[in-house]
Amino acid sequence: MSEAIVSARGIVKAFQVGDRSLEVLHGVALDVGRGELVGVMGASGAGKSTLIQILGLLEEPTAGEVLFEGRSAWKATVAERARLRNERIGFVFQFYHLLPELTAVENVVLPAMIGRSFGAWRAARPDLVARAEAALARFGLAERLKHRPAQLSGGERQRVAIARALFLDPPLIIADEPTGNLDSATGEKVLDLLLTERESRGLSMVLVTHDERLAARCHRVVTMADGRIAGDARTTTARAAAR
């Protein structure tokens, strides 16, 4: 395993609920290596989502440090952190989180639009749109390019979301129960697509799931309980991959 793309050190996260402080993570430490597929499992309320949000630089830890590619993420400026989220991290959410006013292609190119000035976008637009259309076509959505999210099925929406997450070739993908809102057959197809892309691009991925079979496809499974890492085990997949 190469060096970690993201490392969480002694992460504590507490939320203020009324007068009292509710601590949901108690000193969690986790390294995600480059090219590594880490599954995160645990009961509801165990702190899985909070942990990956902290790893995705969406949530600031109350204590502890997040190192992204060796640099302390929360010591960087707001703009630098936004740039990391834009270029270095791709998010896949359970509820797809596509912008309803945009077409499938526009949703996919949105990260490129966010990271560019007006002039840079104008210059790169034809190329970027062509790339987005090609990506969607590869995901079986060639007929759905101009469709809005409301005109797409759940599986199609999640495929658009995956295309968006991968569009800028970020080295880290954070997926929060990406099949949690899909029926099992569709979920299986979407997951195959996501994992195949990850594999072919050699990306790191942190995947929150309740599905044991899915977890078995990860290199490592981190089990969380009561805000702590209760288990961190390499799977047979990892061992097979290692052989």
Partner 1 sequence: MYRTFLAWRYLAARRTNVIGIVGIMVGVGALILILSIMTGFLLETKRSLRGTLSDLILEPIHVPDREGRTIPYDPEPALAVVRADPRVAAACAQLTWYGILGQSGRDAALANMRMADAQSGKLSGVKLVGIDVADEFAATNFRAALESTPRFAGSRVADLDDPFAPPPGYAPEGRMLPTCIVGEQLASAWNLRRGSEIEIVTGVPDPLTGDFPVNNRRYVVVGTFRSGENEMDLEKIYFERAELADFLSSERRFSQILVRLHDYARDGKAVRDELSAKLHAAGLVKFADGREVRTWEDFRRSLLGAIENERVLMAIMLSLVVVVAAFTIFAILSMMVTEKRRDIGILSALGATPGGVTSLFLWIAFLDALIGAVLGAVLGVLGALHIDRIERWLSSVLGVQIFNRNVYLFDHIPAVVNPLWVAVIVLGAFACTLLFAAIPAWRAGRLDPLEALRYE
Which residues contact partner 1 (rule: CB under 8 A)?
Answer: 53, 56, 58-59, 78-79, 82-87, 91, 93, 95, 97-102, 110-111, 113-118, 120-122, 164
Cβ-based nearer residue to partner 1, 48 or 217:
48
Residue carrying structure tokens 């590869």: 138
* Distances in whole angstroms, Cα of residue 59 to Cα of each of 13, 16, 197: 9, 14, 27
Q: CB 89: neighbour CB atoms within 10 A? A: 24
Helix H or strand E segment including 32 = strand 20-33
Minimum Å gap between C-beta 91 and partner 1 is 5
Cβ-based nearer residue to partner 1, 63 or 110:
110
> Beta strands 228-234 and 220-225: pairing type?
antiparallel
Minimum Å gap between C-beta 115 and partner 1 is 6
Minimum Å gap between C-beta 189 and partner 1 is 23
The dihedral built from the CA positions of residue 139, 140, 142 and 146, taken in this order, carries a sign that is negative
Residue carrying structure tokens 């599954």: 39
Cβ-based nearer residue to partner 1, 7 or 49:
49
Minimum Å gap between C-beta 37 and partner 1 is 21
Cβ-based nearer residue to partner 1, 208 or 221:
208
Chain-centroid distance of CA 230 in Å reads 22
